[in-house]
Amino acid sequence: MKTSRIPAPATRSRLVALIVAGVLVLAAIGAGVYGLVRGPAHPATSAGAGSPAGSTGAGTGPANPSSTVGPATLPQTDDPTAYARAVAAALFDWYTTAGYTPSDYEAPVLADADPSGEETSALIGDVASYEPTTDQWTRLATMDVAQHLTISSAVVPSSWPQALAQAHGQLRPGTTAVTITGTRHRTGVWYGDKASTSEPVSFTIFEACTPAWPRCHTLRLSELNDPLK
Protein backbone atom coordinates (compact mmCIF):
# COMPACT_ATOMS: atom_id res chain seq x y z
CA MET A 1 0.00 0.00 0.00
CA LYS A 2 1.37 3.39 -0.94
CA THR A 3 1.68 5.91 1.90
CA SER A 4 2.24 9.66 1.66
CA ARG A 5 5.50 11.02 3.00
CA ILE A 6 5.28 13.74 5.64
CA PRO A 7 8.01 16.33 4.95
CA ALA A 8 10.62 16.85 7.64
CA PRO A 9 10.56 20.25 9.38
CA ALA A 10 13.82 21.31 7.71
CA THR A 11 12.40 20.48 4.28
CA ARG A 12 9.19 22.36 4.99
CA SER A 13 11.14 25.38 6.24
CA ARG A 14 13.25 25.44 3.07
CA LEU A 15 10.08 25.27 1.00
CA VAL A 16 8.66 28.24 2.85
CA ALA A 17 11.88 30.12 2.19
CA LEU A 18 11.70 29.34 -1.50
CA ILE A 19 8.18 30.71 -1.64
CA VAL A 20 9.30 33.94 0.04
CA ALA A 21 12.27 34.23 -2.32
CA GLY A 22 10.18 33.51 -5.41
CA VAL A 23 12.47 30.70 -6.54
CA LEU A 24 9.87 27.96 -6.44
CA VAL A 25 6.47 29.55 -6.66
CA LEU A 26 5.12 31.05 -9.87
CA ALA A 27 8.47 30.96 -11.64
CA ALA A 28 6.67 29.68 -14.70
CA ILE A 29 4.27 32.62 -14.88
CA GLY A 30 6.78 35.33 -14.03
CA ALA A 31 5.31 36.55 -10.73
CA GLY A 32 7.41 37.20 -7.64
CA VAL A 33 6.45 34.99 -4.72
CA TYR A 34 8.39 35.01 -1.51
CA GLY A 35 9.56 31.87 0.09
CA LEU A 36 9.44 31.83 3.74
CA VAL A 37 13.19 32.03 4.38
CA ARG A 38 14.92 34.94 2.83
CA GLY A 39 13.26 37.93 4.43
CA PRO A 40 13.48 41.60 3.48
CA ALA A 41 16.62 42.48 1.59
CA HIS A 42 16.76 46.24 2.13
CA PRO A 43 16.43 47.00 5.83
CA ALA A 44 17.83 50.50 5.46
CA THR A 45 14.96 51.58 3.22
CA SER A 46 12.23 50.11 5.36
CA ALA A 47 12.58 52.49 8.29
CA GLY A 48 14.32 55.65 7.16
CA ALA A 49 15.96 58.13 9.50
CA GLY A 50 16.75 61.36 7.72
CA SER A 51 13.44 63.15 8.32
CA PRO A 52 10.29 62.53 10.33
CA ALA A 53 9.09 60.09 7.68
CA GLY A 54 12.17 59.18 5.72
CA SER A 55 10.12 60.12 2.63
CA THR A 56 8.25 62.98 1.05
CA GLY A 57 4.58 63.81 0.90
CA ALA A 58 1.86 64.93 3.26
CA GLY A 59 0.03 62.88 5.83
CA THR A 60 -1.67 63.01 9.18
CA GLY A 61 -0.37 61.21 12.21
CA PRO A 62 -2.14 60.13 15.37
CA ALA A 63 -3.96 62.95 17.16
CA ASN A 64 -2.41 61.80 20.44
CA PRO A 65 0.45 59.40 19.63
CA SER A 66 1.48 58.80 23.22
CA SER A 67 -1.89 57.25 24.00
CA THR A 68 -1.72 54.58 21.28
CA VAL A 69 1.91 53.68 20.73
CA GLY A 70 2.74 51.02 23.29
CA PRO A 71 3.67 47.57 21.96
CA ALA A 72 0.62 45.80 20.59
CA THR A 73 -1.14 42.71 21.90
CA LEU A 74 -1.95 40.37 19.02
CA PRO A 75 -5.42 38.82 18.97
CA GLN A 76 -5.89 35.10 19.50
CA THR A 77 -7.87 34.44 16.35
CA ASP A 78 -8.14 31.92 13.55
CA ASP A 79 -9.07 34.64 11.04
CA PRO A 80 -5.97 35.06 8.81
CA THR A 81 -6.98 38.51 7.57
CA ALA A 82 -7.78 39.92 11.00
CA TYR A 83 -4.55 38.50 12.36
CA ALA A 84 -2.49 39.94 9.48
CA ARG A 85 -3.99 43.39 10.07
CA ALA A 86 -3.01 43.18 13.73
CA VAL A 87 0.54 42.10 12.87
CA ALA A 88 0.84 45.01 10.42
CA ALA A 89 -0.27 47.49 13.06
CA ALA A 90 2.13 45.99 15.59
CA LEU A 91 5.03 46.51 13.19
CA PHE A 92 4.17 50.01 12.02
CA ASP A 93 2.54 51.84 14.94
CA TRP A 94 5.18 53.31 17.25
CA TYR A 95 6.32 56.48 18.98
CA THR A 96 10.01 57.16 19.53
CA THR A 97 9.63 59.10 22.79
CA ALA A 98 7.06 56.88 24.52
CA GLY A 99 9.77 55.05 26.48
CA TYR A 100 10.03 51.97 24.26
CA THR A 101 12.71 50.67 21.89
CA PRO A 102 12.43 49.04 18.44
CA SER A 103 12.83 45.62 20.06
CA ASP A 104 9.83 46.34 22.27
CA TYR A 105 7.67 46.85 19.18
CA GLU A 106 9.14 43.74 17.53
CA ALA A 107 8.48 41.58 20.59
CA PRO A 108 4.72 40.90 20.16
CA VAL A 109 5.18 39.50 16.64
CA LEU A 110 8.18 37.38 17.61
CA ALA A 111 6.52 36.12 20.78
CA ASP A 112 3.58 34.89 18.70
CA ALA A 113 5.70 33.32 15.96
CA ASP A 114 5.58 29.78 14.58
CA PRO A 115 5.22 27.57 17.72
CA SER A 116 7.39 24.87 16.16
CA GLY A 117 10.30 27.31 15.90
CA GLU A 118 11.05 26.26 12.32
CA GLU A 119 10.72 29.76 10.90
CA THR A 120 11.54 31.86 13.95
CA SER A 121 15.22 32.56 13.26
CA ALA A 122 14.37 33.88 9.78
CA LEU A 123 11.38 35.83 11.08
CA ILE A 124 13.65 37.66 13.53
CA GLY A 125 15.53 39.13 10.58
CA ASP A 126 12.30 39.91 8.72
CA VAL A 127 10.83 41.83 11.63
CA ALA A 128 14.03 43.74 12.37
CA SER A 129 14.15 45.02 8.80
CA TYR A 130 10.75 46.68 9.26
CA GLU A 131 11.90 48.72 12.25
CA PRO A 132 14.49 51.52 12.58
CA THR A 133 17.90 50.53 13.87
CA THR A 134 18.91 51.70 17.33
CA ASP A 135 20.91 54.59 15.83
CA GLN A 136 18.02 55.57 13.56
CA TRP A 137 15.62 55.39 16.49
CA THR A 138 17.81 57.73 18.52
CA ARG A 139 17.90 60.29 15.71
CA LEU A 140 14.15 60.00 15.11
CA ALA A 141 13.53 60.51 18.82
CA THR A 142 15.26 63.90 18.67
CA MET A 143 12.48 64.86 16.23
CA ASP A 144 9.71 63.35 18.39
CA VAL A 145 8.67 61.06 15.55
CA ALA A 146 5.52 58.94 15.70
CA GLN A 147 4.46 56.49 13.02
CA HIS A 148 1.24 54.70 12.17
CA LEU A 149 -0.15 52.66 9.30
CA THR A 150 -3.46 53.20 7.54
CA ILE A 151 -4.46 49.91 5.91
CA SER A 152 -6.39 50.15 2.66
CA SER A 153 -6.60 46.41 1.92
CA ALA A 154 -5.67 43.06 3.41
CA VAL A 155 -6.28 40.19 0.99
CA VAL A 156 -5.04 36.72 0.11
CA PRO A 157 -2.96 37.21 -3.07
CA SER A 158 -4.47 35.87 -6.27
CA SER A 159 -1.27 33.90 -6.89
CA TRP A 160 -1.45 32.04 -3.57
CA PRO A 161 -3.48 29.06 -4.92
CA GLN A 162 -0.74 28.46 -7.50
CA ALA A 163 1.86 28.65 -4.76
CA LEU A 164 0.03 25.98 -2.80
CA ALA A 165 -0.32 23.81 -5.89
CA GLN A 166 3.39 23.97 -6.59
CA ALA A 167 4.14 23.04 -2.98
CA HIS A 168 2.43 19.67 -3.58
CA GLY A 169 1.03 19.48 -0.06
CA GLN A 170 4.40 19.98 1.64
CA LEU A 171 3.51 23.22 3.39
CA ARG A 172 2.03 23.02 6.87
CA PRO A 173 -1.78 22.74 6.66
CA GLY A 174 -3.41 26.09 7.25
CA THR A 175 -0.50 28.08 5.78
CA THR A 176 -1.69 31.18 3.97
CA ALA A 177 -0.50 34.59 2.79
CA VAL A 178 -2.16 37.97 3.28
CA THR A 179 -0.92 41.00 1.37
CA ILE A 180 -1.28 44.33 3.14
CA THR A 181 -1.43 47.63 1.26
CA GLY A 182 -1.71 50.99 2.92
CA THR A 183 -0.04 54.27 3.79
CA ARG A 184 2.69 54.79 6.36
CA HIS A 185 2.37 58.14 8.15
CA ARG A 186 4.97 59.87 10.28
CA THR A 187 4.67 63.04 12.30
CA GLY A 188 7.38 64.92 14.16
CA VAL A 189 9.21 68.18 14.66
CA TRP A 190 11.56 69.28 11.88
CA TYR A 191 13.81 72.25 12.69
CA GLY A 192 11.33 73.47 15.27
CA ASP A 193 8.24 73.12 13.07
CA LYS A 194 5.65 70.37 13.10
CA ALA A 195 6.00 68.12 10.07
CA SER A 196 4.18 65.14 8.60
CA THR A 197 4.89 62.81 5.73
CA SER A 198 3.31 59.73 4.21
CA GLU A 199 4.15 57.06 1.67
CA PRO A 200 2.45 53.95 0.26
CA VAL A 201 3.64 50.58 1.55
CA SER A 202 2.80 46.99 0.70
CA PHE A 203 4.03 43.64 1.98
CA THR A 204 2.92 40.07 2.54
CA ILE A 205 2.52 38.26 5.85
CA PHE A 206 2.83 34.47 5.71
CA GLU A 207 1.04 32.73 8.53
CA ALA A 208 -0.34 29.37 9.62
CA CYS A 209 -3.72 28.95 11.27
CA THR A 210 -5.97 25.91 11.76
CA PRO A 211 -5.57 23.01 11.34
CA ALA A 212 -1.87 23.57 12.06
CA TRP A 213 -2.63 25.29 15.37
CA PRO A 214 -5.80 26.43 17.13
CA ARG A 215 -5.09 30.03 16.11
CA CYS A 216 -2.92 31.99 13.69
CA HIS A 217 0.83 32.51 14.06
CA THR A 218 3.27 34.44 11.85
CA LEU A 219 5.76 32.44 9.78
CA ARG A 220 7.56 35.03 7.64
CA LEU A 221 7.31 38.50 6.13
CA SER A 222 8.04 39.49 2.55
CA GLU A 223 10.43 42.27 1.69
CA LEU A 224 8.76 45.61 2.29
CA ASN A 225 7.17 47.03 -0.88
CA ASP A 226 7.68 43.79 -2.80
CA PRO A 227 4.58 41.79 -1.89
CA LEU A 228 3.08 38.63 -3.26
CA LYS A 229 0.35 39.65 -5.69
Is the pLDDT at 179 greater than 90? The verdict is yes
> What per-residue confidence (pLDDT) applies to 161?
92
Q: For 145-166, what is each residue's pLDDT tens digit? A: 999 999 999 999 999 998 888 8
The pLDDT of residue 22 is above 70: no
Under a CB-based contact definition with an 8 Å cutoff, are residues 77 and 83 in contact? yes
Is residue 156 within 8 Å of residue 80, measured between CB atoms?
yes
Q: What percent of the chain has pLDDT over 90?
A: 59
Predicted local distance difference test score (pLDDT) of residue 165: 87
Q: Looking at the domain assignment, is residue 4 inside a domain?
A: no
Question: Looking at the domain assignment, is residue 13 inside a domain?
Answer: no
Decide if 71 is inside a domain: yes
What phi and psi, each to the nearest 5 degrees, are found at residue 104?
-65, -40
Range of the domain at 80: 43-157+174-221
* Domain membership flag for residue 227: no
